[in-house]
Structures are given as C-alpha cells and as structure tokens.
Amino acid sequence: MQLRLATWNVNSVRLRAEQVQKFVAENAPDVLCMQEIKCQEGEFPRQAFMDAGLPHLRIAGQKGSHGVAIASRLPISDAPVLGVCREGHARVVGAVVEGVEIQNFYIPAGGDVPDRAENPKFDHKLDFFEKLTAEMARRDPKAPLAIVGDLNVAPGEFDVWSHKQMSRVVSHTPIEIAAMAELKAALGFIDLVREAIPDPQKLFSWWSYRAADFRASNRGLRLDHIWISPGLQAAALRTGKAMARVHDDVREWERPSDHAPVSADFGL
C-alpha cells in the first residue's frame, strides 16, 4: 500500500481548520502531523477532521501556545512517549500507523540570542536536541521510524535565503546546525526532502509574515522536515528516488500559516 505522510505547522488549528480540509482534499495525505495547534485537547476541531476523512487522532494540546497533533485516515495505536521537553510543553506526540512509528515535534524556536548562558530559550532548544539525540541513539536503526515536524533549524546552506547573513541568526547558527547533525547521525536518519530535491536548489518551508509578497522577497527557511530511519529507506526509495515535496502553494492561500506543508510518499 502507499502511505502519504504530511507535516504542517498550522499556526492555530481552529483558525485554519478549513484550510486543513482543503489541503487534505487536494493532496490526500493518509497521515497529517500538525504543530502549533494552539489549543487544548478538548478544544480541538475533531469534526473538521472527521469530515476530511482523518478521524483517528492523537493530540497533545496546550492553552494558547505550542501543541501538536496527528490525524490519520488509517487506524493508529500508541507510540512510545518521549520525555524530551524539560519545560513540560506540548511539543511531541507519537503514533504507530501500519507498523511505522511516527513522532511529531515542535522543537523550541530558541528566542533571539544564540547563547545558552544568556538566553534560557536557546538553552532549552539545545537541551531538547540533546535529549532527543540520546533517545534516538538507543533505538534500533532497522525499526521503521519517521520523525517529522517543525524542527526549527534550517540545516544547510541552501535551506536559507542567505547563508552568510543567517549564520548569525537563531535557526541557522553553527551550534544549532551541529546539534541537528548529531541527531541525524544518532540513528542514521535520512532527510527525505533533500533526497528528493538535492542541493544546490534553494528550498524553504517558512516565510515571514513581514513580507507583503513572500515569493518576491523569498527570504525563507527550511524548518519543516521529514526524516526516516534506515528501516524505512526501502519503503521511501522504492522507485530509486524519494517522493517528497514542499507544498509552497499553500502559503499563497488567504490568511495562511507562515509555514507550508511538507509531504512524502511510502510504499509499505
């Protein structure tokens, strides 16, 4: 069977429930992982997802901020609970779909100052990466696992609009890039979007609201990712090439999220 997995920082699921329905209708994801749902579990618009054909839900909500959720067309079961957020925020939720463990993350943005001693938010971000890296280092690389979501780091030179300027800005600083590289190496993760669309093509999934025309300014960052363990490699590369993309057209919709969805296809 084919499984289409998508991730999207929706920046308020209640505000954008109709946009989610439109995206699902046009792109038919089997599993949609969302970040920044910005509501508690009881406030989640369940009916909208049932109407969209994604009735199976796992939700980790939080009042006013953060929050993550997984919505699936297929039945889901519980995945291991990862205690990687020291602040107790709703930043990770997992599920198992068709034997594949999916862990959905909203990693802390890290504030404005890239210094652990001066900025507790930046320290929290790096601590989150360190805890997650330690968790992944204990896993079996042959087990089918996908980690997805807004990981809040643009890791490569071609994942930012200006490598030189952004190297001093949180989301693309050397210490964050190194932390992400350690996480990737911990289990031998494969970055599916870059497998599908290799460097040196510029590729972004987030654009600031400050630009009146995000395409004209095109000052974007690739913050949203789908990574897989070696155990999913054959399923993701069954044709010899990854089938993954950024749905940047969604960023053009009325009252959009500042993030675009990202999707990948698997043959299970």
Question: Band of the pLDDT at 241, cuts 50, 70, 90?
Answer: confident
Burial class (CB in 10 A: 0-12, 13-18, 19+), 109: middle
Share of the chain above pLDDT 70, in %: 100
Share of the chain above pLDDT 90, in %: 95
Question: Band of the pLDDT at 237, cuts 50, 70, 90?
Answer: confident
How confident is the model over 35-84, as pLDDT tens digits? 999 999 999 999 999 999 999 999 999 998 899 999 999 999 999 999 99
The contacts of residue 148 (CB under 8 Å, 6+ apart) are 5, 7, 33, 102, 103, 104, 105, 225, 226, 227, 262
Query: What pLDDT does residue 211 have?
Result: 87
- pTM value is 0.97
Question: Band of the pLDDT at 212, cuts 50, 70, 90?
Answer: confident
The contacts of residue 233 (CB under 8 Å, 6+ apart) are 190
Q: What is the CATH number of domain 2-262?
A: 3.60.10.10
The contacts of residue 179 (CB under 8 Å, 6+ apart) are 126, 129, 130, 133, 153
Is omega for the bond preceding 200 within 30 degrees of 0, making it cis? yes
Distances from the Cα of 178 to the Cαs of 118, 122, 164, 207, 254, in angstroms?
A: 19, 14, 17, 23, 36
- Alpha carbons 193 and 65: distance in angstroms, whole number: 27
228: pLDDT strictly greater than 90: yes
Is residue 98 within 8 Å of residue 79, measured between CB atoms?
no
The one-character DSSP state at 77 is B
How confident is the model over 87-139, as pLDDT tens digits? 999 999 999 999 999 999 999 999 999 999 999 999 999 999 999 999 999 99
- Alpha carbons 258 and 253: distance in angstroms, whole number: 11
- Alpha carbons 124 and 53: distance in angstroms, whole number: 36
Grouping H, G, I as helix, E, B as strand and the rest as coil, residue 146 is: strand
